[in-house]
Amino acid sequence: MTVDLFVTAIVGLAVLLFLLFLRNPYFLKDVSFAVTALHVAIRMNRFKKQKPFYSILDCFLDKASRQGHKTFIVFEDRSYTYSQADKESNKMARALSTHAHLKRGDTVALFLGNEPQFVWTWLALAKLGCTASLLNYNIRSKSLLHCFSCCEAKMLVAGADLQGAVEEVLPTLSQQGVRVFILSEDCNVEGIESLSDKVQQASDQPLSPQLRANVQMNSPALYIYTSGTTGLPKAAVINHERLWMSSFLLSFAGVHASDIIYIYLPLYHSAGFLMGLCGAIEKGLTVVLRRKFSASHFWSDCRRYNVTVIQYIGEIMRYLCNTPKKDNDRDHKVRLAVGNGIRADTWTEFLQRFGDIRICECYGATEGNCGFVNYVGKIGAIGKEHFLQKMGYPYVLIRYDTEKEEPVKDSRGFCIKVPRGETGLLVSKIGKRTPFIGYAKNKQQTEKKKLRDVFVKGDLYFNSGDLLKIDNEGFVFFQDRIGDTFRWKGENVATTEVADYLLMVDCIEEVNVYGVKVPGHEGRIGMAALKLKENIDFDSKATYQQVKRYLPTYARPRFIRIKENLSVTGTFKQIKAKLAEEGFNPAVIRDPLYYLEDNEGYIPMTEEIFKSIAEGRIRL
Ligand SMILES: *[C@@H]1O[C@H](CO)[C@@H](O)[C@H](O)[C@H]1NC(C)=O
Ligand SMILES: *[C@@H]1O[C@H](CO)[C@@H](O)[C@H](O)[C@H]1NC(C)=O
């Protein structure tokens, strides 16, 4: 009798599931997403209550004791087990605490490329109860100093290969009493101390958990730099809650403990560090770490190390598709790619060429309080809405005026929600469960990312700065980015920062920097409209020297347009949208145009160059 009832119930349930499946082809994936979400929510809840606080470091230490012999990091010709990594970071922590007299709560800036020492140093700082600030290793001089001072770091740890860049700013750092350590065995520059020799002599015995007893869920775990969508680079405060949430993204993407992940994206960004490295620790994965991306080594690395999961940004997927076809293109074990910004055409081409790899697009800003995951693999979408997510993270798309660069208001002065299928600005409610922590020591920029009185008086939203579209099935599509930054090669470029450097060139009177779209490329490439000083010619050489000296490659304006006047709005805001739309076609634009040729400098733009770019013969 009871068995019959049981069978009936099972059959009934199966029929119900089948009917739901017919109505919604994504039903099973929706359910699986919900299960992961609930699982994560339960774990987060437990972490919040646990005393003493359970951080990602504790998770790493658990892995080191439970699976000490498992390979944690493979780098070039070496590999390190979880247990070795633990010991290496103990030595680093002891060296730092003895020679740099670090106290808990101190902030230390890391200026390092992707290498195992990056990981040891971060773990060491966590063991000492200190916070790491992850500097972008492409930045130099003024920008480097600016970023360094954002989070009041007491100390700088730099990679041996970056000594030159450190020496450039050393006088200022010394003046501020900052201790500078370099990861080499000796250093004869006054003011820079060697660290590797001290690490070698240090003991690898564990450090007392007492040292980090002050760390709580809402303590800063890291500072990660972002241009956000406005102004100069800012240090986004990543607290432990945020770090945990980001590290669960790999679970949402369907990564298993037996996977091997390939990390070549810079560890100073949230994709490589939070989602990649911290995600790997959370799951106990093996990480194949690479100094930087190489299209020619990508698949051979994946084959050699049995990589099963890769991370990507859209540009990388296109570079991979642009490499010459090979017979062994499908000979690899990669089953999943997690990342952001792949275009629909590249996506299709990638699958056709490299085989059955599940691509999981994710969307979210380093400092944002809202994100999406395209867990069903719908080509072209950056995410799919899920009712659980909507309950936990209230977000809305609001109507936005791209000419005036502000949200459209109704007669009562409130924002207007766009109907499904229309493009709008993503804003997400700031609340207890969805906080916006903001930027270190930068109240003004933190405030700038907040929108008040959006739908009712007194409400508060985070302004993502991104224009999105959500279709009838709940798929989310990226449309554009607004504000003072644009994205190129996976990096945010702050237009104001580029403009500041250009204004230092003698011949330049006024500057307007913006991003322009290039056929076949993700994001926007840098362009600057210049107004020259009266009766002075454009000094292409000086301009090139300046951008080369101060700006990383991705931020250098690729095109320059000389204008008699730069138009401003009534409130003297520069008008970028119109210039960006006009682009860089010399057949259309009457003003003098220049093109930045690699390793050459600014040369006059020609229709020939324009054609080559449009047809993909010149790669930008
Ligand atoms: C990769 O997998 C193959 C077959 O499973 C195995 O023989 C080989 O040792 C693995 N390579 C590495 C680097 O683990
Ligand atoms: C440019 O601006 C100056 C000062 O505002 C004005 O005198 C001049 O007529 C303008 N030139 C053009 C071509 O608009």
pLDDT number for residue 566 = 83
Instruction: Taking residues 421-446, report their average pLDDT.
Output: 90
Average pLDDT over residues 573-582: 81
Lowest mean pLDDT among 230-234, 341-345, 438-442, 551-555: 230-234
pLDDT band at 568 (very low <50, low <70, confident <90, very high): low
251 lines ligand 1 (CB under 6 A): no
Token representation of residue 508:
């330049």
Query: Are residues 337 and 430 part of one domain?
Result: no
Statement to judge: residues 493 and 594 lie in one domain:
yes
Ranked by mean pLDDT, which of 227-236, 275-284, 313-322, 511-520 comes out on top?
Answer: 275-284
CA of 260 to the centre of ligand 1 (A): 11
Is 79's C-beta closer than 6 angstroms to any atom of ligand 1? no
**Mutational test site, ligand 2, from 532, 565, 566, 590, max ligand atoms within 8 Å of CB:** 565
Do 432 and 530 fall within a single domain? no
Residue whose Cα lies nearest atom 6 of ligand 2: it is 565
More confident residue, 14 or 295: 295
Ligand 2 centroid–CA 564 distance in Å is 8
**Mean of pLDDT values over 174-201:** 96
Looking at residue 8, its pLDDT comes to 75
Residue 407 included in any domain? yes
What pLDDT score does 161 carry?
Answer: 96
Give the mean pLDDT of 45-66: 94
Q: Ligand 2 center to residue 288 CA distance, Å? A: 58
Residue ending a domain, choose from 421, 445, 480: 480
Q: Structurally, how many domains does the chain consist of?
A: 3
What is the number of the ligand 2 atom nearest to the C-alpha of 564? Answer: 13
> Residue 25's pLDDT band (boundaries 50, 70, 90)?
confident
Compute, in angstroms, the gap from residue 303 CA to the centroid of ligand 1: 9
Domain co-membership, 602 together with 547: yes
What residue numbers bound the domain in which 471 lies? Answer: 394-480
Q: Where are the beta strands (DSSP E) in 272-364?
A: 286-289, 309-313, 336-340, 358-364
Residue of the CA atom closest to atom 12 of ligand 1? 305
Among 349-358, 380-389, 553-562, name the one with the lowest average pLDDT. 380-389
Q: Assess whether pLDDT exceeds 90 at residue 492.
A: no
Q: What is the pLDDT of residue 21?
A: 67
In this prediction, what percent of the chain has a pLDDT beyond 70? 96
**CATH (domain of 347):** 3.40.50.980
Q: How far apart are CA 475 and CA 378, in angstroms?
A: 8
Tokens of 314: 């859209």
How many Å apart are CA 465 and CA 249, to the nearest integer? 22
Other C-beta atoms lying within 10 Å of the C-beta of residue 19: 11
Least confident of 25-29, 152-156, 377-381, 604-608: 25-29
Q: Are residue 496 and residue 601 in the same domain, yes or no? A: yes
336-372 confidence digits (pLDDT tens): 999 998 989 899 999 999 999 999 999 988 888 889 9
Same domain for 515 and 475? Answer: no
Q: Can you give the pTM of this predicted structure?
A: 0.86
pLDDT recorded at residue 230: 55
Distance (Å, rounded) from C-alpha 160 to C-alpha 280?
26
d(CA 547, CA 565): 22
CATH code of 604's domain:
3.30.300.30
Whether the upstream peptide bond of residue 52 has omega within 30° of 0, thus cis, is yes
pLDDT computed for residue 496 by the predictor:
80
Same domain, 594 and 494: yes
**pLDDT tier at 448 (50, 70, 90 boundaries)?**
confident
**Tell me, what's the pLDDT at 27?**
86
Instruction: Tell whether 118 is covered by a domain.
Output: no
Q: Which of 415, 445, 480 is the last residue of a domain?
A: 480
Q: What local confidence, expressed as pLDDT, does residue 22 receive?
A: 67
Cα 306 to middle of ligand 1, angstroms = 6
Task: Please report which ligand is nearest the Cα atom of 572.
Answer: 2
**Same domain as 424, residue 306:** no
What is the mean predicted confidence (pLDDT) over 70-87? 97
Q: Does residue 516 form part of some domain? A: yes
Contacts of 300 by beta carbon, 8 Å cutoff, 6+ apart: none
Task: Report the half-sphere exposure of 28 (CA within 13 A, side-chain side).
Answer: 6
Regarding the beta carbon of 305 and ligand 1, being less than 6 Å apart is answered yes
Ligand 1 near 218 CB (within 6 A): no
Lowest-confidence segment of 52-66, 162-176, 575-589 by average pLDDT: 575-589
Is the domain of 508 the same as that of 594?
yes
pLDDT exceeds cutoff 80 at 567: no
Decide if pLDDT at 9 tops 80: no
Residue 198 bridge partners (DSSP): none
Calculate the average pLDDT of the chain.
91
Domain boundary among 442, 457, 480: 480
Dihedral angle, C-alpha 299, 300, 301, 303, nearest 10 °: 90
Higher pLDDT, 12 or 391: 391
The 10s digit of each residue's pLDDT in 283-322 is 999 999 999 999 999 999 999 999 999 999 888 998 899 8
What confidence score (pLDDT) does residue 557 get?
97
Predicted confidence (pLDDT) at residue 404 exceeds the cutoff of 90: no
* Rounded mean pLDDT, 591-601: 94
Cβ 565 under 6 angstroms from ligand 2: yes
Angle, helices 344-354/314-322, rounded to nearest 10 degrees:
50
Residue nearest to ligand 1 atom 5, measured at CA? 306
Based on the fold, state whether residues 449 and 432 are members of the same structural domain: yes
420 within domain boundaries: yes
Domain for residue 117, yes or no? no
**Residue 70 pLDDT level (bands cut at 50, 70, 90):** very high
Task: Output the CA 155–ligand 2 centroid distance in Å.
Answer: 50
- Ligand 2 centroid to Cα of residue 298, in Å, is 53
Closest-lying ligand 2 atom to the alpha carbon of residue 565: 1
Residues 401 and 434 in one domain: yes
CB 515 within 8 A of CB 536: no
Average the pLDDT over each of 260-274, 275-289, 414-428, 437-451 and give the range with the smallest value.
437-451
459: domain CATH number? Answer: 2.30.38.10
| Local confidence band at 150 (pLDDT 50, 70, 90 cut-offs) | confident
Per-residue pLDDT at 24: 80
pLDDT reported for residue 569: 58
Strand partners, 16: none
Q: Which amino acid is at 203?
A: S
Please give the distance, rounded to the nearest whole angstrom, from the Cα atom of residue 342 to the centre of ligand 1: 30
Answer yes or no: is 257 within a domain.
yes
For residue 2, tell me if it sits in a domain.
no
**Confidence at residue 570, expressed as pLDDT on a 0 to 100 scale:** 54
pLDDT band at 605 (very low <50, low <70, confident <90, very high): very high
565 CA distance to ligand 2 middle (Å): 6
Protein residue whose Cα sits closest to atom 7 of ligand 1 = 306
Q: Which atom of ligand 1 is nearest to the CA of 306?
A: 1
* Residue 451 sits in the same domain as residue 521: no
